[in-house]
Amino acid sequence: MKTLLRKVLPHPILTLVLWGVWLLLNNTVGAGHIVLGLILAILIPWLTSGFWPEKVRIQSPLTLLKFLGVVLWDILVANMAVAKLILGRNKNLKPGFFYIDLDIETPLGISLLANTISLTPGTVSCDLTKDRKRLLVHALHIEDIPATIKEIKERYEAPLKEVFTAC
Amino acid sequence: MFEWVLSTLIIIGAFFTLVGSIGLYKLPDFFMRLHGPTKATTLGVGALLIASALYFSFKIDDISLHEVLITVFLFITAPVSAHLMAKAAIHIKLKQVDRTQNKMNSTTTR
């Protein structure tokens, strides 16, 4: 039974996401679209499963939700901070590059972390080393590099690591 | 009252989008300019989209959630394009402001 379900739904999360996106795109929850969306959401992952060798598993959904909340809040704060920096004088800005040593190993976790870094506190992720161990980050204004690295690791990397572990 | 909320959201959105564009214009080097569009704009567009969702939800008496998708796609694509541009810029050794800490001049990005 379980293997059959595996075969029909190789990527259950992808199926759910596709279904949701379909309903949002059509902006309805009419019965017809629910069925059509469901058919597509089952067929597409099945047909494209060759392109998704990696199985995604979410370990603790609650941590993920909490993480999303934190990130949304930080985006809000980061926007104001960056707006202030942009409107201030260029001379006072102290841009800089720094490397973050990564603890996460899953590709999805790393890409989510890089995305989060780009969206939040005045930092843009620039490059990932080939061995996927270090992430190069550029900051618009940075005073204390070790403290920033520590904050990113504690605030974003730790929850992501908890949610997406290799399996 | 409802119109006040909408107008506030639209003004906030317009303000942050404008700040993003100002950043693109006045910041001294490429890497710093990248920060404008990735951040200031997300909140700007976000606020505009919330206003749009609210307006259409009330106007047609039906929840309008298209806008959620736009927000999600924006949040997914903005960092990716910024990352690609930054990577390319490092690769061709684009010049960086002198006071940049840990400048990337050599081809250190293995």
Chain B interface, best mutation among A79, A90, A115, by max B CB count within 10 A: A79
CB-CB under 8 Å, B29 with A95: yes
Determine contact: B32 vs chain A, CB below 8 A: yes
Average pLDDT, chain A: 79
**Residue B20 within a domain:** yes
A4 CB-contact burial (10 Å; exposed 0-12 / middle 13-18 / buried 19+): exposed
Expressed as residue numbers, the domain containing B61 is 2-91
pLDDT of res. B11: 92
Determine contact: B38 vs chain A, CB below 8 A: yes
**Residue B52 within a domain:** yes
Considering only CB atoms, B39 lies closest to which of A27, A82, A127, namely A82
Name the token pair of B53.
């969702």
**Residue B106 within a domain:** no
Q: Locate the DSSP E strands across B27-100.
A: none
More confident residue, A107 or B40: A107
* Closest alpha carbon within chain A to B22: A86
**Residue B64 within a domain:** yes
Determine contact: B70 vs chain A, CB below 8 A: no
- Count CB pairs under 8 A between chains A and B: 120
pTM of the model: 0.76
pLDDT of res. A56: 67
**Residue B62 within a domain:** yes
**Residue B103 within a domain:** no
- Given a cut of 50, is residue A143 above it in pLDDT? yes
CA distances from B43 to A41, A125, A152, A155, B39 (A): 31, 19, 21, 21, 7
Largest distance between two CA atoms of chain A: 65
The A123-128 sheet, strands edge to edge: A96-101, A134-139, A123-128
CB-CB under 8 Å, B22 with A96: no
Is beta strand A123-128 parallel, antiparallel or unpaired with respect to A134-139?
A: antiparallel
Is residue A128 within a helix (H) or strand (E), and if so which, with residue range?
Answer: strand A123-128
CB A127 within 8 A of CB B86: yes
Which residues of chain A make contact with B92, given a CB cutoff of 8 A?
Answer: none
More confident residue, B9 or B110: B9
Handedness of CA B4, B10, B16, B22 (dihedral sign): negative
User: What band does A93 get if pLDDT is binned at 50, 70 and 90?
Assistant: confident
Determine contact: B26 vs chain A, CB below 8 A: yes
**Residue B46 within a domain:** yes
Considering only CB atoms, B82 lies closest to which of A124, A129, A142, namely A124
Mean pLDDT (whole number) for B80-92: 83
- Given a cut of 80, is residue B97 above it in pLDDT? no
Going by the DSSP 8-state scheme, the letter that residue B101 receives in this structure is B
CB A96 within 8 A of CB A138: yes
User: What band does A1 get if pLDDT is binned at 50, 70 and 90?
Assistant: low
- pLDDT single digits (tens) A41-89: 888 888 877 777 666 667 777 888 888 888 888 888 878 888 888 888 7
Window from A154-158, B19-23, B106-110 with minimum mean pLDDT: B106-110
Window from A54-58, A101-105, A159-163 with minimum mean pLDDT: A54-58
User: What band does B110 get if pLDDT is binned at 50, 70 and 90?
Assistant: very low
CB-CB under 8 Å, B35 with A129: no
Give the count of domains, chain B.
1
Which residues of chain B make contact with A134, given a CB cutoff of 8 A?
Answer: none
Window from A21-25, B58-62, B73-77 with minimum mean pLDDT: B58-62
Name the token pair of A21.
């996106």
CB-CB under 8 Å, A87 with B34: no
CA B34, CA B37: separation in Å to the nearest integer? Answer: 6
